[in-house]
Amino acid sequence: MGTIMAGCIFVPGQPGHGDRDMERLLSAAKPSVILTQRVHADALLRAAKTNSPLALAQHSIFIFDDDILDSTGEPYLGFPHWQDMVGSPAENNWEYPDIQSSQDYHSTIVIMFTSGTTGNPKGVEISHCNYISAAISYMQRVSLHPDWQKSAQNTNDASPIRVLGTLGMHHILGQRSYSVIFPKLGVPLYLLRLPSSQNILDAVERFNITDAIVRSSMLTEIAKTPHRKSLMSRLSSLKRVEGCAAPMPQSTKTILEALGIDRVSRVWGLTELGLITGHDMNTSSTPQSVGELHANYEGKVTNSSNPSQTVDRSTIGDIWIRAPSRSVGYYQNAEATLDAHGVDGWFSTGDVGYVDERGQWYIVDRKKDLIKVNGNHVAPTELEDVLLQHPDIAGVGIIGVAVNQDEGPRAYIQTADHSSLSSTEIHRFMVDKVAPYKYLSGGVSFIPRIPRNSNGKILRAELRELAKKELGGFKGHYHGVFAYSAEDSH
């Protein structure tokens, strides 16, 4: 908020992404000032040393830790503390200027970098208009619930709502929710410093959390936790959970609701558009659906082969969204902006799905991730959902590889501890659950952990690189052309 009030652009980073991603972020953003915590200072220095565009003087990097609250901050590794930026009372006699002109209202205030699950991250430019309109749309939905209305009216600590925030500030839903939405609604927020399934359970139990926004992959991890009775007790205060950032298996929703959580639902959004859909807070959520469009959002589904042709309801196609929250574009990337921005304000989401007669939206998968088997499209998320129902499978990622002049799904499996699961057992498990063309004809490979970004999305690009190493460059390529026998991977 201070950055924006100072007339600057805020760019969040996540050192947990690794040195290489931090180098790319710094190179693309070219920041004039950096705020960092002591724990991340070393990573920042490593990135700066290998990044020639980052010719920042030491005084341009500031330590930003909690000790600012009592004015005891000290420099670290030669970096000054953030309190050095704080002016004296005499210098604070100014006000945040009102945004009056259309030009100012549509000027960029935040650049959020996309997750980069299939390639390099892109910087999404978000304006005042984009940021606030997306916040208002989300607020309109949740504020319809009586508990949220009571919480906003309360002036004491007896709020019926206690929200747990588990997303990082580098995630647009987390940042917008924690900075604008929840404070504006007047609900108590407990923000996890280090999100993990164990920390989530501890926080829910300790602070009697009623509502939570959690990455879908982490919800699946919690649902796979043994000792169900103990888990039920620890989650007893939790009434509503929304899974985000990646598809949530139906089995996860079923297990968590059986543990006593009133409603476990999916939401869908993009960095470029904000949170697009969600479920009515006063009704049960529709299985598999990501809910209805938020206020001020329009959607359409078009023929994948002909973008100008809108398809009928319940027909799968490419999803387009139009809303005042649509971002300005991609930072210094006119080509990517042109590809995503359609005519008349429409935005190509890159997702394939459909909307039913009741206005409920369903996401099949990312268009670029679909596997084409003998002319039939296979969604990796569908197969991952099926495989996660197996008790010995802790994680799974599906990609397409070359199979007999065609493509076929290949499964990367992370097994539960002490499991002796074999590829043969996995193939048998799939037989009566999916159509034959969806079988794992590309083979099965066991790996220690499914690669994910900090938002929980599967890094399929890494799986494809792994497939190339295991099978050979062409056989492991997503759109391979050489024959390959599934038995080769067993």
Residues 172, 329 contacting (CB under 8 angstroms): no
CA-wise closest residue to 164 among 133, 205, 216, 225: 205
Report the distance separating Cα 457 and Cα 247, nearest Å. Answer: 8
Res 151: pLDDT: 75
Say which DSSP state 11 is in. -
> Residue-wise over 199-229: b if at least 16 C-beta within 10 A, else e?
ebbebbeeeebbbbbbbbbbbbbbbbeeeee
Residues 355, 362 contacting (CB under 8 angstroms): yes
pTM of the model: 0.81
Report the CATH fold assignment for 126-366: Rossmann fold (3.40.50)
Are the folds of 126-366 and 370-489 the same? no
Res 489: pLDDT: 39
Q: Where are the alpha helices (DSSP H) in 154-215?
A: 172-176, 182-185, 197-207
Look up tokens 């869908």; give the residue.
Answer: 268
Report the distance separating Cα 369 and Cα 468, nearest Å. Answer: 16
CA-wise closest residue to 294 among 272, 319, 323: 323
Q: Domain 370-489 class? A: alpha beta
Q: How far out from the chain centre does Cα 420 lie?
A: 32
Res 410: pLDDT: 95
For the chain, domain boundaries: 2-97, 126-366, 370-489
Res 479: pLDDT: 43
Res 119: pLDDT: 55
- Show pLDDT as tens, one digit a residue, over the chain (490 residues): 888 888 899 999 876 666 777 777 787 888 888 888 888 888 777 776 665 445 455 568 888 887 666 667 788 888 888 888 777 767 666 677 777 788 888 999 999 987 555 456 689 999 999 999 999 999 999 988 888 887 767 655 577 899 999 988 888 899 999 999 999 988 899 999 888 899 999 999 999 999 999 988 889 889 988 788 888 989 999 999 999 887 888 889 999 999 999 999 999 999 999 999 999 988 877 888 999 999 999 999 999 888 889 999 999 999 999 999 999 999 998 998 998 998 899 999 989 999 999 999 999 888 888 888 877 788 898 899 999 999 999 999 999 998 877 889 999 999 988 888 999 999 999 998 998 889 999 999 999 999 987 667 888 888 988 998 898 765 655 443 333 333 333 3
List of long-range contacts for 207-210, beta carbons under 8 Å, 24+ apart? 207/162, 207/164, 208/162, 208/237, 209/162, 209/163, 209/164, 209/237, 209/238, 210/147, 210/160, 210/161, 210/162, 210/163, 210/237, 210/238, 210/239, 210/240
Res 301: pLDDT: 96
Q: What is the dihedral of CA 238, 243, 245, 251, to 10 degrees?
A: 130
